[in-house]
Structure 1
Amino acid sequence: MTKGRVTVIDIAQAAGVSKSTVSLVLQGSPLVNEATRSKVNSAMRELGYVYNRGAANLRQASAKSKIIGVVVNDLTNSFFAELAVGVDMVVQSAGFVQFLSNTSESIDRQREVIASMREHGISGLIVSPARATEAVDFKPLVAAGIPVVVVVRSLPGAKVSSIVSDNEGGTSAAVEHLASLGHTRIAFLGGFTDTAVFEERLAGYIDGLNRAGLGFDEELVISSAPSRAGGVDAIGRAIAMGNRPTAAVCFNDAVAFGVCDGLRARHMEPGRDFAVVGFDDVIEAQTAVPALTTVSVDPQSMGRRAAQLLLKQINAGRAEAENVTTAVRLVVRESCGAAQKKIGRKMA
């Protein structure tokens, strides 16, 4: 291999890191730790790589592409697939394409994919931040004038636009509905405690209890991964309580589906023996058995609004931060037992 043909991929392989990490080193990014930076620089010296910064800058300047970056924290959750569909509806009609990536809640992966997207000259970014994301992580994008819209999870202090749902209002309405059916032991199941969404939905849960004249019992708040498996785990712990709950508001629909799985594994029927309410109203909620009572966010609509806001900033040539909170509504179906004249209390 001649020196003139050494590529970023060659350096990445020699240093044992990703291509995006090499790019961050070349850009002088502070996101790379010194040990990794030293390893990459050593590989470049050994391979004889010379970074043509002038050519790279020219590439970036000319590459204001028709590409929109979309980064989500959990693509296994169908909420984010529906959100991406909503984004695509808008950007496609505007002549853009979306570059979609999943971080699986990894902050390092998030940094890498955003760096890679910047290399491809994205015109803007829509992102549902991974756990532990801080406002400073978006400072380079803001400084570069790249419009950013944060969705689902707010990021105070980031000076970027955001679109989130009325999390407090949603869980409050869900608790009040369950209380109106006669439930007094209502659990809040699922979600990571270190996210703003969890804090907001928990606050709504507590507000709903207060409105219904019910006391708050910390034991009834059971955190877990915001996934189907997390729901199975959470309901297992709830049912093991001495004074077990008879109903639950779940962090999201994925958790709610897991709760229903966990109930059936214990020969309990959702909606008859235990009331379940989700949050999001993904497509499967309506066709599930029993159909899931849930707080409707309309993820496709959220995706469309995020894309519209981003395109507005791209077309204006400036990234002025706007914060939008979308309305939600409780959709009552079968899983909460609203059709039952009595609250099922058969416990396996």
Structure 2
Amino acid sequence: MGKGRVTVIDIAKAAGVSKSTVSLVLQASPLVNESTRTKVNAVMRELGYVYNRGAANLRQANARSKIIGIVVNDLTNSFFAELAVGVDTVVQSAGFVQFLSNTSESIDRQREVIASMREHGVSGLIISPARGTEATDLKPLVVAGIPVVLVVRNIPGAKVSSLVSDNHAGTFAAVEHLAALGHSRIAFVGGFPDTAVFDERLSGYRDAMSKTGTGFQDELVVSSAPSRAGGVGALARAMAMPEPPTAAVCFNDAVAFGVCDGLRARRIEPGKDFAVVGFDDVIEAKTTVPALTTISVDPQGIGQRAAQMLLKQINAGKPEAESVVSSVRLIVRESCGAAMNKLGRKMA
């Protein structure tokens, strides 16, 4: 037990009831009247108490969970499935199993699944936080001494480890490549503006647009959900501009696939009539038609590295926060039109 762990005795004292009454509330016993139940539950929330179901069931001295929790914000994005595979290859060899949960960008759902994982005595958590997650949301984990590694999205001031990609360098390279092919109307498509990842990728796009002389224009930034459907919708808005773009740097590969869908619906061929660059390099990027030019971040590699960081903290017995920014690289395939070079400019 860590120093910050709140006990049943703490709850009983704060609520002015007996330890047995708190136990009955935890068991949802009908013997407790509603007003007392409400008061005890309010105190538990205030103190950040989490019922450790594993400890309650086993009651074994020095019992240690062999469970790693993975909480992601959008499991419909294949990036996270690949990341989970990477985590599993590492934790499995270390004798751990992983519990995977999807929040669908819901803070409430995220809170529920983390609480549930804590109840089952999870040894550590790898989290890609839902939109709007703040440092205070993770404070109970820090206080309880539970190792945490944030992936994809970092949270300033959270005092936990993080592993993110070099988002600025990625979009900067994508814009430079498209500008070298002769494009000047390059859109930045997809992503939620209220996330740090969006800010970092937009910053790389903006800086590259200025450096290449194409100039940054607000109208060419078209945000949307970072999904295939979001890409379709964002492309529709971009093409409705008085002077539509001729190329797009997409927030991620899912958005890029949606942009390609939207282009084909307009009988515009991606890679021939319009250049598309994604971000992530998921498995489908290599086999889609046309094959997707993208910024490779190695999703499985990120999962492996995140798992290694987490296991290091678990084995040390004391979480020590570390921040890692992984490198990225541009993978040129067919969707950017580099092979055809229709604009008559040589590739850089």
TM-score range, shorter chain: 0.7 to 0.9
The answer to whether the 8 Å contact 1:273/1:343 transfers is no
Take 2:24 and 2:318, find their aligned partners in 1: how far apart are those partners? 37
The answer to whether the 8 Å contact 1:294/1:332 transfers is yes
User: What is the root-mean-square deviation in Å for CA atoms of aligned residues?
Assistant: 2.7
Partner of 1:37: none
Shift of 1:62: 4.9
Shift of 1:82: 0.2
Q: Map 1:132-171; keep pairs closer than 5 Å.
A: 132-171=132-171
Partner of 2:330: 330
Secondary structure, aligned partner of 1:306: helix
Secondary structure, aligned partner of 2:306: helix
Partner of 1:28: 44
Secondary structure, aligned partner of 1:112: helix
Q: Deviations over 1:161-205 (max 9, x none)?
A: 000000000000000000000000000000000000000000000
Take 1:232 and 1:7, find their aligned partners in 2: how far apart are those partners? 49
Take 2:336 and 2:60, find their aligned partners in 1: how far apart are those partners? 53
Partner of 1:36: none
Runs ≥4 residues deviating over 4 A: 5-12, 55-63
Q: Map 1:1-348; keep pairs closer than 5 Å.
A: 25=41, 28-30=44-46, 56=56, 59=59, 62-343=62-343
The answer to whether the 8 Å contact 2:52/2:120 transfers is no
Please tell me the residue identity of whatever aligns with 2:312: K
Partner of 2:4: none
Shift of 1:207: 1.1
Shift of 1:340: 1.1
Compared with structure 1, are the counterparts of its residues 143 and 343 closer, same or farther at alpha carbon in structure 2 (3 Å cutoff)?
A: same
The answer to whether the 8 Å contact 2:52/2:121 transfers is no
Take 2:339 and 2:44, find their aligned partners in 1: how far apart are those partners? 61
Please tell me the residue identity of whatever aligns with 1:29: R
Unaligned runs of 5+ in 1: 13-21, 33-50
Secondary structure, aligned partner of 1:85: helix
Secondary structure, aligned partner of 1:279: strand
Partner of 2:7: none
The answer to whether the 8 Å contact 1:227/1:258 transfers is yes
Please tell me the residue identity of whatever aligns with 1:140: P
Equivalent residue pairs, number: 312
Compared with structure 1, are the counterparts of its residues 178 and 67 closer, same or farther at alpha carbon in structure 2 (3 Å cutoff)?
A: same
Q: Deviations over 1:80-124 (max 9, x none)?
A: 000000000000000000011000000000000000000000110
Take 1:246 and 1:190, find their aligned partners in 2: how far apart are those partners? 16
Partner of 1:19: none
The answer to whether the 8 Å contact 1:337/1:343 transfers is no
The answer to whether the 8 Å contact 2:52/2:119 transfers is no
Shift of 1:57: 10
Shift of 1:252: 0.2
Shift of 1:341: 2.9
